[in-house]
Amino acid sequence: MNNDKTKPVIIIGGGPGGLMAAETLAKAGIPVTIYERKPTLGRKFLMAGRGGLNLTHSEDIKTFMTRYGAAAEKLRPAIENFPPSALREWCEGLGQPTFVGTSGRVFPKSLKASPLLRAWQIRLSELGVTFVFQRQWLGWNSAGELVFTNTEGKTETAAPAATILALGGASWPRLGSDGGWVKILQQQKIPVTPLRPANCGFAVTWSEIFRSRCAGQPLKPVMLSFAGKNIQGEMMLTEKGIEGGAVYALSAALRDAIEKNGSATLTLDLRPGVSSAELIQRLSAPRGTLSFSNFLRKKGGLSPVAVALTREIGGKEVQTLSPAALTALIKALPLRLEAPFPLDRAISTAGGIGLDALDDHFMLKNKPGVFTVGEMLNWEAPTGGYLLQATFSTAVYAAEGVMKRVGR
C-alpha cells in the first residue's frame, strides 16, 4: 500500500477510459494527472460521435455479457459493478439524457459526443484533475519512474502513487491510439497478443467495371451468413471490398478464418424477405423483351446493386441459369473475402494485454501499481455499445483497485 497522499495517480491517455478513471479517483479525493500525447482530449470519442455515439445497449445483462466471448468472465465483475444503467445515469448527470433506439442501442439524445465531452471536461477540472498535453510516453527508467518526451524532445519523468494505462488499441491511429505501447510492455515481459483489426471491412477483388459502377453504394436489405450465424442488415460496397454494420457483426469469425485458411467465403441472401419457392416462381415468368438485368429487377425484386453483384459473381453464365439455379445463386451468393482491412481502417482492436497477466482489478501482476483499462486488454466485442461500455466499466473498476492500493 502506498500511503503518500501527496503523489498523484497518473493516467496515461485522455480517451474515455482515462477520463472515467480520472473522475472515479478525483471524486474520492485522490489527486489525478492525465498525460495525453495529443493537444486535446477524446479524439476517437468525438469520431464515434459522428455516428450518433452508441454508448451502450439496453438488453438484459445475461445476453449483454455473451457479446464478449471468451473474455466475458474476466470482464463480468467490472461490467456488473458499472453496468449499462449506471452509464446512462452518469450521462444524465452531465446534462445529456439518453434514449433507446429501435435496435436496443442507447444514445445521447443529442446524438453527439461533443456536448458530453465538454461537460465532462468541466466536471474533471472542477474536481481538480490536472491535464498535461503533448507528452509521449516512453516507458519506465531504471528507477521505475515514468518517462515522457515533450514537443521539444526533452525528457520528463514522474513518480506517481499509481499508474493507469489507458492508451487504447491501434485503430484510427491518427487520433492518438497507435499501439506504440505494445513494445514497451513486451520489453517488461508482459504478454501482449498482437493487435488485429476488429469490427472491420474485408478486401474483395472486384472487376474494374463493377468497381467503377458500384463502389460507394449500399446493398440492402441483405442477409449475411458465416459459420452458422446469420445477420440481416446493410453492407457497403467499396473500391477494395465490403464494410458496414452487418459485416462488422461477423468480422471476428471471418478474420480468424482468413488467418487460418487464407480466405473466407461469406454467403449473401440478396432477397431475405422472399422464400426460394416464391422467387423461383417469379423468375419462371417469361422474360419477353426485358434485358436480363431488368428482368432480375422487375421480376426478382433485386436492386440495381444486387443485380450487378449477381452478375459479378455469377459471370457470363448467369444468364443461362434455370430459374431454380438462379434462385439458388441469389439466395446464397458466395463472396470470397481475401483479407481484413488494415487496423487503421478498423473500428476497434482485437488482441492486447493477456487477461491472465492481470489481477481482478486489471493491475499488471508483474508491475505492481500499474493498472490497465479499455482496448489495451485482450478482448473484443461487436458494435452496438459493447465497446464503450467495457471501456467505461474497466476504467471504473481499475480506479477502484487504485483506491484500495493507495489506501483510500
SS3 assignment, position 6: coil
Instruction: Find the domain containing 182 and state its range.
Output: 9-198+348-406
**pLDDT tens track for 207-219:** 999 999 999 999 9
pLDDT(407) > 90: no
Q: Which of 33, 30, 34 is nearest to 6 (CA)?
A: 30
Task: Name the band, by pLDDT with cuts 50, 70 and 90, for residue 82.
Answer: very high
End residue of a domain, out of 292, 322, 340: 340
CA distance 36 to 373: 15
Let me know whether 113 and 51 are in one domain.
Answer: yes
- pLDDT value, residue 22: 98
Percentage with pLDDT > 70 across the chain: 99
- pLDDT value, residue 2: 47
End residue of a domain, out of 286, 313, 340: 340
The mean pLDDT of 288-308, rounded to a whole number, is 95
The mean pLDDT of 74-91, rounded to a whole number, is 98
pLDDT(342) > 80: yes
Let me know whether 133 and 258 are in one domain.
Answer: no
Is it true that the peptide bond before 221 is cis, omega within 30 degrees of 0? yes
pLDDT(1) > 90: no
Q: Is residue 79 situated within a structural domain?
A: yes
Let me know whether 326 and 246 are in one domain.
Answer: yes
**pLDDT tens track for 13-63:** 999 999 999 999 999 999 999 999 999 999 999 998 887 899 999 999 999
Let me know whether 185 and 52 are in one domain.
Answer: yes
Task: Name the band, by pLDDT with cuts 50, 70 and 90, for residue 5.
Answer: low
Let me know whether 38 and 181 are in one domain.
Answer: yes
pLDDT(270) > 80: yes
The mean pLDDT of 65-94, rounded to a whole number, is 97
Q: Which of 213, 217, 215, 224 is nearest to 265 (CA)?
A: 224
- pLDDT value, residue 4: 61
CA distance 233 to 243: 12
End residue of a domain, out of 305, 320, 340: 340
The mean pLDDT of 397-404, rounded to a whole number, is 98
Q: What are phi and psi of 191, to 5 degrees?
A: -70, 125
CA distance 91 to 31: 23
pLDDT(332) > 90: yes
Residue 99 belongs to domain with CATH number? 3.50.50.60
CA angle 365, 171, 107 (to 5 degrees): 95
- pLDDT value, residue 6: 80
Q: Is residue 114 situated within a structural domain?
A: yes
3-state secondary structure string across 294-322: HHHHHCCCCCHHHHHHHHHHHCHHHHHCC
Q: Is residue 2 situated within a structural domain?
A: no
pLDDT(3) > 60: no
- CA quadruple 131, 133, 135, 136: dihedral positive or negative? positive
- pLDDT value, residue 33: 98
pLDDT(396) > 70: yes
- pLDDT value, residue 403: 97
- CA quadruple 373, 374, 377, 379: dihedral positive or negative? positive
CA distance 339 to 263: 7
Q: How many domains does the chain have?
A: 2
Let me know whether 87 and 156 are in one domain.
Answer: yes
Q: Which residue shows C-alpha cell 476497434?
A: 348
- Mean pLDDT, the chain, rounded, equals 96
pLDDT(408) > 80: no
pTM as predicted = 0.92
**pLDDT tens track for 230-254:** 999 999 999 999 999 999 999 999 9
